[in-house]
Structure 1
Amino acid sequence: MNDTVKKQLPTKTERHKLFGSVEPGPKTKPVDKKGMKDLQNTKKDFLFELDAVGVSNVKHPVTIKSQHTPLTQTTIAQFYFASSISQDSKGTNMSRFTEQLQSYYQDGFVLDFSTLKSFVFDLQQRLEQKDAELTVSFPWFFERQAPYTEQAGLNHADAWMRVRYHETEGYDIHVGLSGKITTLCPCSKEISEYSAHNQRGNIEMDVTLDPDFDDQTYDWKTILLEAAESNASARIHPVLKRPDEKMVTEQAYENPRFVEDMVRLVASDLYEVEAIQQFYVRCINEESIHLHDAVASITYDKREE
C-alpha cells in the first residue's frame, strides 16, 4: 500500500501568478492596423541609402527538380531576402518577405529560375524599392552507383541560388555547389616506392549565369557536380563492395591531383560552358598525413576578355 500523500497544487492561473504573471493593464493604443502608426513607412531624410535590409535564416520546405535520380525531391531550404532602402525611407516591412514566401509555398514552391525571378520581381514591386534579392541554400541528393557492382545509394551536395532583380539593370543570377571528392597526392606517388597518400577534397564553386539560362533544359547542379567530380582522382560513393573499392582506389592512383590541379581543371570545364559568365572555384584537401589542410582557389570573369 502506498502511503505517499499526493501534492495539492494551486490552479494553473494561481501557479502563473506565483511565478510572476500579472493581470493585463489598461489598453490605450489602437488594435486595428489602420489606426496604428507605421514607423517603417516614415518618409524623411535618414542620411544614407542602405545596401540591403531584410530577413535571414528563414527555413522552409521546397521542391527541387533534377536530371539525376531522384528527379523530384523535397527538402528544407534556408532563405535570405533583402532589398536596398532609399535615403528617404526609414525601413522595410519585414512581414512582407515571409508573407510572400507563404503565398508562393501555397502554390507549390519549386526552386527554378522562373519561380525565383517571379518572386524577386513581385517582391521589388511590393516593397516599392528599386531592387529585391533572395538567396536560397539547400542540400541536393542524387543517386550514385558503385562502379563495378552498380549498387546504388544517395550522395548529397550543398547547393545555393541567388537571384536579384533591379528595375533598370534587370536580373542577376548566381548559383553555387559544394561537394566532396577524392584526391591522391602526386608528390607522394612520385617519391614513394609503393602506395601514395590520399585525402578527401571539398570543391566549392560560385558561378554567375547568363540571366536567360534555361534550367528547364540544362540542370546547373549537374553541370557543376560533373565539373568537380570528373576532374578528381576519384568520386565519392555511398556504397562500395570490395570489387568497387579496388576500382576506385586504382582509379585514384592513376589520376593524382594537387589542389592546384583541381581548381585549374574545374575552371577549364566551367570556362567551356557558354552560359557561365564568371566563376570562383576553391578546393580544400583534408590532408591524411598532415595536420593542415591544403587550399587553392581561382576567380575568372569571361566578360572581361
Structure 2
Amino acid sequence: MNVKDNSQKILPNKIERLKLFGSVEPGPKHKPTEKDKMSDLQNLQKDFLFELDAVGITNVKYPVILKSKLKPYTQNSIGTFTFTSSIKQTSKGTNMSRFMEQLELYSKNGFIFELNTLKEFTKELAERLGQRDATVEINTTWFYERKGPSSQIAGLNHADINLIVSYHQDSGYKVSAGLSVFVTTLCPCSKEISEYSAHNQRGNVSIQVSLTEDFNEDEFDWKYALLEAAESNASSRLHPILKRPDEKMVTEGAYENPRFVEDMARLVAADLYELPYVKSFEVTCQNEESIHMHDAIATIRYTKE
C-alpha cells in the first residue's frame, strides 16, 4: 500500500520551474522589429501561375444580434464567419489581418445579422483588402417561440440559418440565404399497409435560396418564410413543451398528414417557387428512419426562368 507524503513541499521559483519543463533564454535577434522594415512576403508581386478564386479565413466565431418576426424579437447569438476574396495571378497572398480588423470594426456596437449591414460590410471589406471582390458567409442559430397547439404553453425552438453575400465591383451583389430545421414525418406506406398505427421519424429540412436584387428585408422576413415552407409541409411541427392534450393533437395531426421525403421536397419546393423574391433554390429533406438503420433523402434544385 502506497502512502502519500503530505509534508510541505519547497518549490523552485517560477522561472526555475519553467526551465525545468523546457523553457530556454531568448536567443540573439537580428531581424527588424519596425513594421516598415519587415519583409512582406504576402504582398510579393510575381507570376504565381494561377488566380485564386477564394482566399481568406474561416471558422471565426463572434457575437451577432438577430431581429425576428417571431418572439424573441431581438436576440443575441453566436455567428460563425467565413471571409474570402479572389486574388490575382500576380499576387502571392492576401492580408489576413484585415478580415478580422473589418469584423472588429463592425462588432464594436454589435454585429447586426441582416442583409443591409452585410452588404455594406462586404463592399468595405473588398476595398480594405484592395481587391475587386469579397464574400462573407455567416452561420448562426435563430430561436423562435412555439406554443403547444392545445395548452398554448410557450417554449423556444431553434433553426440553423445562414447568409452569404458576395460583392464584385463590376457586377454588384449576389445574396443567398439558408435554413435547416427539424420536423416530424409519418410514413404514408406504413399507414396504408398497417391495421393500426404508422411509424414516424424526425426529419431535417435544409433550404438554400438565391434572393433577387430588389429583395427588401424590411418588408419580408426571409427566416420566417423559409421556416414556414419547411414546417407547414411536414406531418407535424416540433414543439419544445407538450402537455397530454397537445401530444394528442400532434400525434393525430401527423397521422392525418403522412409524408415521404419525396413529398416533403416537392411541397417545400412549391412554396419556395411562389416566393417572388426567390430566384433559385435547393431543398434537401432527410429522415432519420425509425425502422431502418439508414436515412432517407431527397433533393430538388430549381432555377426560375
CA shift at 1:61, angstroms? 0.5
**Range 225-234 or range 26-35, more displaced:** 26-35
Q: 1:279 maps to what in 2?
A: 281
1:124 matched to 2:138: no
**Range 140-149 or range 22-31, more displaced:** 22-31
Superposition TM-score, scaled by structure 2 size: 0.97
Secondary structure, aligned partner of 1:60: strand
Q: 2:51 maps to what in 1?
A: 49
CA distance in 2, matches of 1:89, 1:53: 12
Give the alignment of 1:230-245 within 5 angstroms.
230-245=232-247
CA shift at 1:279, angstroms? 0.2
CA RMSD in angstroms, aligned pairs only: 1.0
Letter in 2 for 1:89: S
CA shift at 1:108, angstroms? 2.2
Deviations, residues 171-210 of structure 1 (Å, cap 9, x unaligned): 0101100001111111111111111111111000011001
Letter in 2 for 1:265: L
Q: 2:212 maps to what in 1?
A: 210
- Which of 142, 145, 149 aligns to 2:144? It is 142
Secondary structure, aligned partner of 2:111: coil
- Which of 10, 13, 16 aligns to 2:12? It is 10
Q: 2:155 maps to what in 1?
A: 153
- Is residue 52–residue 89 contact of structure 2 (8 Å, CA) maintained in 1? yes
Superposition TM-score, scaled by structure 1 size: 0.97
Give the alignment of 1:129-278 within 5 angstroms.
129-278=131-280
Number of corresponding residues:
301
CA shift at 1:5, angstroms? 3.1
Where structure 2 has 5 or more consecutive residues not aligned to the other structure, the ranges are none
Letter in 2 for 1:251: G
Secondary structure, aligned partner of 1:59: strand
Identity among equivalent pairs (%): 62
Secondary structure, aligned partner of 2:136: strand
Secondary structure, aligned partner of 2:43: coil
Where structure 1 has 5 or more consecutive residues not aligned to the other structure, the ranges are none
Q: Alpha carbons of 1:4 and 1:207: their partners in 2 closer, same or farther (altered >3 Å)? A: closer
Deviations, residues 49-87 of structure 1 (Å, cap 9, x unaligned): 001100001000010011010000001110000000100
Secondary structure, aligned partner of 2:36: helix
CA shift at 1:28, angstroms? 1.5
Deviations, residues 4-43 of structure 1 (Å, cap 9, x unaligned): 5311111101111122211112221111111111111111
Greater than 2 Å deviation, 4+ residue runs: none
Give the alignment of 1:105-120 within 5 angstroms.
105-120=107-122
Deviations, residues 117-167 of structure 1 (Å, cap 9, x unaligned): 011100111111111001100111000000000000000001111000011
